[in-house]
Structure formats: C-alpha cells, structure tokens
C-alpha cells in the first residue's frame, strides 16, 4: 500500500480531488491530511472521505512534533496541496525527493515568497501573458525552486480577469495533480 499524505491550508479543492482520485484505487491510500488552519475547509472535505486530519501550529514545526506525526503516517509521498507556510526543512531532509508541490504558474516565472493563489494569477494577467499553467515540483529549502517534475500550459491571452486565469489553471491542477502523484508512486519500488 502506497501512503499519500496531504498538507493544505485552506479550502482544499486539490486535496479533495486527490482524495477522490485515490478512493478505492487498489494499492493507494490517502492516510492523513495535515493543516495549519483549524478552520480550513479541507477539514470537512477530509472527513467526508474518512481521512484523518492533523491540525498543527508553528510550535509543532519548530520542536519536531510535526515530523514525529508525519513519520507515524508512514508516507510514501508528501503532497503540498495549497499549503501556505514554508515547508519544514527537517521533513524535507527526512523524505528526500518525496515532498512535492503544485504551483499555479510556469516556474521559474511567478514563483517565490508571496507568489501564491490570486497573487500569481494577478501577476500573470497584469503582465499580459499569453499562457500560464501549472508546475509540479519537488520541495527544497527555497520557495518554488525544487526540481521540476511536470508542467502543463493553458492559453490565458483571452482571459478578462485574474479570476478567469485562476479558473483555467485550477482545471489543470485538478486534471493532472493526482495523475502525476500516481505516476511518481508507481515508479518507486516497495
């Protein structure tokens, strides 16, 4: 059984899509959702899929408690699905090349600290980009600088708002993120 754990901070649409994708899929299990937000929408979504939720705070990250809780879930892959804090270095070190993130733009453009959510889409829109897309990448100690695993583009030159850019990119996220997770897990030996 390949265990997937998710980290999310907000509504959790990508987390929900991933849980839905792997539900009933033989050999795969979303074993936990971690969130730094006790009021996050992802909590209800996780409960609907009977996936345990672990809420944590800064102190848990700083004192190693979070790493212990992650180890208890025996993850084969750790997926950041809308997680807004800088990911802890001790977990990255413990699970090299097993922590991945999705970014709502074509890195290296529009990446780095502060470039998340509508900030990214507004920048893409305001710069009149012809295309945007998604980047799935490994997580390292720097925001959005890990090795790129997968990118997919979408035309945004006819979009009339950053919100329209966001909708087009979100469709890509939902379509490709679970598939790439499964591909990565199927390439890892037991």
pTM recorded for the entire structure: 0.95
Instruction: Give the other-Cβ count within 10 Å of 184's Cβ.
Output: 21
Q: 174, 169, 158, 154: which is closest to 121 by C-alpha?
A: 169
The yes-or-no verdict on residue 189 having pLDDT over 80 is no
* Amino acid 24: pLDDT: 87
Band (pLDDT 50/70/90 cuts) for residue 190 is very low
95-126 pLDDT tens trace: 999 999 999 999 999 999 999 999 999 999 99
* Amino acid 54: pLDDT: 98
* Amino acid 188: pLDDT: 64
35-91 pLDDT tens trace: 999 999 999 999 999 999 999 999 999 999 999 999 999 999 999 999 999 999 999
Does the active-site annotation cover 20?
no
Alpha carbon distance, N-terminus to C-terminus of the chain: 9
Q: How many angstroms separate the CA atoms of 17 and 175, rounded?
A: 9
Q: Which of 103, 121, 137, 174 is catalytic?
A: 103
* Amino acid 181: pLDDT: 98
Which residues share a beta bridge with 54?
34
Q: How many angstroms separate the CA atoms of 135 and 101, rounded?
A: 8
Q: How many angstroms separate the CA atoms of 159 and 81, rounded?
A: 25
133-188 pLDDT tens trace: 999 999 999 999 999 999 999 999 999 999 999 999 999 999 999 999 999 999 86
């Amino acid at each position: 059984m390949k265990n997937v754990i998710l980290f999310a901070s907000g509504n959790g649409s990508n987390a929900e899509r991933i849980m839905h994708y792997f539900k009933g899929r033989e050999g795969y299990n979303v074993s936990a959702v971690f969130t730094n937000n006790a009021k996050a929408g992802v909590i209800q979504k996780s409960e609907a899929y009977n996936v345990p939720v672990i809420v944590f705070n800064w102190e848990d990250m700083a004192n190693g408690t979070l790493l212990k809780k992650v180890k208890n879930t025996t993850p084969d892959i750790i997926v950041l699905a809308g997680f807004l804090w800088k990911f802890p270095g001790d977990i990255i070190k413990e699970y090299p090349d097993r922590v991945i993130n999705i970014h709502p733009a074509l890195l290296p453009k529009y990446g780095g600290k502060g470039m998340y959510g509508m900030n990214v889409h507004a920048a893409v829109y305001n710069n009149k980009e012809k295309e945007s897309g998604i980047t799935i990448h490994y997580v390292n100690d720097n925001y959005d600088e890990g090795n790129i695993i997968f990118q997919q583009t979408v035309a945004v030159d006819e979009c009339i708002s950053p919100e329209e850019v966001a909708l087009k990119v979100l469709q890509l996220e939902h379509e490709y993120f679970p598939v790439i997770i499964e591909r990565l897990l199927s390439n890892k030996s037991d």
